[in-house]
């Protein structure tokens, strides 16, 4: 823990290779700032990524970094975390890397609750391969591989995470500095798998796909910033209420009894995930429980310390001696 580090200390000499104007730049800045703010150190931090524009991330952070193969970062990060539970292990992935080819590893990292921080840059497109639709692309997305519009119903990252048994789901917008740092600090503090969906603007292949709620000019009415224990208010005098007859969330006037955000409530979290307008941001769901890599050692009698030598084991149960 080294409080004097600044965001600059987490920058590398490498030239950043994203398209000019890509949302990834803002995310990079926010992460570097958060690392400094939480007092992380480069040597005890590792960024593991798959393949994609998002996955270029590790090259630009002064820490240990591994740009692995497509979709496998959570599995590799699990092994790294088991090898060295003291590391801060961050996984950076994209909507294709994480939810298309990598879905199975995300599922199992989440249900095991491995102590890693997963940042999914969701731009609803395959950027690096030049713009095909992705598993989060909306129905009807026209792309080189879906010239007539895509058929597939997109997967909801939030519903997927909770369905997989995840204990932490948060959301932030690439360029929203405050929202990003609020979420990233919570991620760093969380035990177990923390998962963040970051709405990231791909200006080349999917420009402004999130503009309806990310546009600053109308943010107050389109964004619901959640804070645990605080009422769900947004816009001028609007709020969210649970409707027990329809089992859904209604937008109501602030004075009607508005829901107070309880981030441990999975029922409400799932309704918030599906809320179309306003879009729920911040920590939608959080239930800290002991993580897998911690338990892996804690629950093992010798914590895998070498307390005996192979020499003691060679003979087995029934040896015999020949003179």
Ligand X SMILES: Cc1ncc(C[n+]2csc(CCOP(=O)(O)OP(=O)(O)O)c2C)c(N)n1
Which residues contribute to the site for Mg ion (CB under 5 A)?
Answer: 94-95, 123
**Part in contact with ligand SF4 (CB under 6 A); list of ranges 16-24, 112-120, 161-169, 294-302:** 16-24
251, β-bridge pairs: 240
Of the pair 245, 318, the CB lying nearest a second copy is at: 245
Q: Return the residues of window 303-322 that contact ligand SF4 according to CB under 6 A.
A: none
Which of 187, 213, 210, 183 is CA-nearest to residue 199?
A: 210
Q: Return the residues of window 242-301 that contact ligand SF4 according to CB under 6 A.
A: none
75 part of the interface to a second copy, by CB under 8 A: no
Instruction: Indicate which single residue of 147, 229, 244, 317 sits in contact with a second copy (rule: CB under 8 A).
Output: 244
204 part of the interface to ligand SF4, by CB under 6 A: yes
Instruction: Indicate which single residue of 6, 84, 208, 248 sits in contact with another protein (rule: CB under 8 A).
Output: 84
Q: Is 29 exposed, middle or buried (0-12, 13-18, 19+ CB in 10 A)?
A: middle
Interface pattern 164-203 for ligand SF4 (x via CB under 6 A): --------------------------------------xx
Which of helix, strand or coil describes residue 47?
strand
Q: Is 100 exposed, middle or buried (0-12, 13-18, 19+ CB in 10 A)?
A: middle
Of the pair 203, 266, the CB lying nearest another protein is at: 203
Residue 122's alpha-carbon distances to 156, 206, 249, in angstroms, are 11, 11, 25
Instruction: Indicate which single residue of 120, 125, 271, 284 sits in contact with a second copy (rule: CB under 8 A).
Output: 271
Angle at 192 between CA 187 and CA 196, to 5 degrees: 40
Q: Return the residues of window 43-72 that contact ligand SF4 according to CB under 6 A.
A: 53
1 part of the interface to another protein, by CB under 8 A: no
107 part of the interface to a second copy, by CB under 8 A: yes
Token readout for 64 is 């240990």
21 part of the interface to a second copy, by CB under 8 A: no
Q: Is the peptide bond before 278 cis (omega within 30 degrees of 0)?
A: yes
Q: Which residues of this protein are in contact with ligand X, per CB under 6 A?
A: 51-54, 70, 94-97, 121, 123, 125-129, 134
Which of 96, 166, 172 is CA-nearest to residue 136?
A: 96
Q: What is the 3-state secondary structure (H, E, C) of 246-279?
A: CCEEEEEECCCCCCECCCCCHHHHHHHHHCCCCE
């Amino acid at each position: 823990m080294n409080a004097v580090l600044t965001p600059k200390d987490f920058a590398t000499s490498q030239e950043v290779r994203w398209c000019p104007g890509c949302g990834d730049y803002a995310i990079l800045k926010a992460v570097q700032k958060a690392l400094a703010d939480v007092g992380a150190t480069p040597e005890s931090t590792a960024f593991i990524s798959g393949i994609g524009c998002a996955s270029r991330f590790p090259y630009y952070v002064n820490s240990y970094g591994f740009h692995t193969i497509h979709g496998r970062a959570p599995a590799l990060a699990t092994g790294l975390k088991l090898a060295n539970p003291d590391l801060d292990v961050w996984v950076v992935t994209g909507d294709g890397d994480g939810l298309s080819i990598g879905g199975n590893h995300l599922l199992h990292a989440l249900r095991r609750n491995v102590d890693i921080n997963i940042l999914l840059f969701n731009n609803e497109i395959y950027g690096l391969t030049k713009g095909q639709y992705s598993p989060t692309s909306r129905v009807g997305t026209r792309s080189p591989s879906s010239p007539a519009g895509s058929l597939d119903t997109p997967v909801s990252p939030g519903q997927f995470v909770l369905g997989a048994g995840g204990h932490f789901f948060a959301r932030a917008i690439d360029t929203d500095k405050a929202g990003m740092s609020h979420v990233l600090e919570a991620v760093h503090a969380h035990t177990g798998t923390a998962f963040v969906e970051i709405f990231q603007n791909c200006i080349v292949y999917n420009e402004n796909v999130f503009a309806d709620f990310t546009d600053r000019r109308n943010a107050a009415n389109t964004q619901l910033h959640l804070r645990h224990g605080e009422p769900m208010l947004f816009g001028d005098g609007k709020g969210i209420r649970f409707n027990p007859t329809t089992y859904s969330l209604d937008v109501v006037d602030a004075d009607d009894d508005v829901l107070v955000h309880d981030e441990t409530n999975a029922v409400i979290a799932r309704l918030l995930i599906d809320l179309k307008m306003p879009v729920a941001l911040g920590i939608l769901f959080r239930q800290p429980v002991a993580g897998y890599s911690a338990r892996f050692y804690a629950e093992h009698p010798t914590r895998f310390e070498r307390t005996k030598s192979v020499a003691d084991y060679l003979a087995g149960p029934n040896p015999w001696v020949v003179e």
